[in-house]
Amino acid sequence: MTDDETSNSPSPSRRSLLAVGGAGLALGAAAAGGAVALARSDDGSDMQPAGEAGGAVPFHGAHQAGIATAVQDRLHFAAFDVKTTDREEFVQLLKDWTKAAARMTEGRTVGEGAYGGLVEAPPDDTGEALGLQPSRLTLTIGFGPSLFDKHGKALGIADKRPDALVDLPKFPGENLEKTRSGGDLCVQACADDPQVAVHAIRNLARIGMGKVAIRWSQLGFGKTSSTTPDAQTPRNLMGFKDGTRNIAGTEKDRLAKHVWVDASDADWMEGGSYLVARRIRMNVETWDRTSLQEQEDVFGRDKGEGAPVGKAKERDEPFLKAMKPDAHVRLAHPDTNHGATLLRRGYSFTDGTDGLGRLDAGLFFLAYQKDVRKGFIPVQRSLATDALNEYIQHVGSAVFAVPPGVRDGSDWWGRGLFEQTEA
Ligand code: HEM
């Protein structure tokens, strides 16, 4: 919103701006324009309408934001181990996290802010996001299998692990590192500004000190998927358009069919989803010495337009039989996998070099689905013969039950799970 647009109306109060930002935005509206964006301030008092790119995505709703939300540019993903054995303390942490998350997605600081409080105490907020826009920050929490198995007794949720929260089987060719896999909890922070995403994870970790500890984390850039079909499809580090055929945030029926958990699952999961995270290393040096023909054969799409083999346009329906039998798209396509369909939301990563002069780069693959037994698992099994395997290796893996959205200011992350269980 520009000054011109607001000049004829009385100055909106911070509360009314938040009301518009919180209730009036449809999924993806922030990206599509028209969002009321709020500038970040430490006590919220000087919030101003700002440009659409920095807008706020509503935190409250039936589903958690960060799944069907138009994909933001940057990622900071963190998996946590639980350290506390005190159920009440853990529940309080979930409540405190929810409160802080809601504030940060609105572009506010945590607690009393980054300065101006007691000089004898460390400030509530670490301060590096002061002056930055909300940047469409979304924070999405997930619960790993070990939360129920390892900590279930202490936390009173031992019998609450959903059947659908399965341990992933071993897949051929993977080389998983323990220190980059698993986790009792995860938080996915997505934002258009990396500093906003990092600030959010850092402050949640800080609030959790002594109760949870970060097990591993991953930064991501250059989104490799699109949940807004009209936007330009981004390219992955292999130079190909990635995310062409995905579930859009506006496709309510497909989201209901393939992404949102329904009443047939555990009660507390209705409206939630299941997340598979895989750190996939790319052998970019080998790939870069591969002919264009081979590269295009590997995916079954051309590098320039992104069109499927034999077709002219990116969005043309793929004709799978025209592709090589081991082409990635042919093997990953729902028609090859009894209709299995994923909402992909991954990011590229480059974490320096590996000591042998090679880039430690690849795809941090994130996929949401109603049931991993009918989503990721069959697709990944089908990819056992993928021509792409010569150029990639899965080195990290985790699966999480992502509970439904936080309904309002009195609700909190995981309330359905913990309120149904006895201490
Ligand atoms: C580094 C690893 C990977 C790379 C570089 C990669 C790249 C691509 C590219 C370029 C496409 C075509 C454009 C598109 O429709 O998005 C594609 C499609 C797809 N990929 Fe991957 N992918 C990788 C890993 C995976 C994994 C692990 C899975 C799931 C287990 C997966 C599932 C899919 C699916 C479902 C499609 C769409 C197929 C269709 O409906 O046409 N990909 N991928």
**Residue 34 in this model has a pLDDT that exceeds 50:** no
Mean pLDDT of 99-103: 98
Å from CA of 6 to ligand 1 middle: 44
**Residue 42 in this model has a pLDDT that exceeds 60:** no
- Residues linked to residue 212 through DSSP beta bridges, in sequence order: 82
All structural domains of the chain with their residue ranges: 58-107+122-422
* Per-residue confidence band for 421, with pLDDT thresholds at 50, 70 and 90: low
**Residue 88 in this model has a pLDDT that exceeds 90:** yes
The residue nearest atom 24 of ligand 1, judged by CA position, is 365
The residue nearest atom 11 of ligand 1, judged by CA position, is 242
CB of 82 shorter than 6 A to ligand 1: no
Å from CA of 242 to ligand 1 middle: 7
Of 135-139, 178-182, 230-234, 316-320, the range with the lowest mean pLDDT is: 230-234
CB atoms within 10 A of CB 92: 14
pLDDT tens for each residue of 263-295? 999 999 999 999 999 999 999 999 999 999 999
- Residues linked to residue 348 through DSSP beta bridges, in sequence order: 221, 363
In this predicted structure, what is the pLDDT of residue 53? 64
**Residue 38 in this model has a pLDDT that exceeds 50:** no
CB of 165 shorter than 6 A to ligand 1: no
Single pTM value for the model: 0.89
* Per-residue confidence band for 54, with pLDDT thresholds at 50, 70 and 90: confident
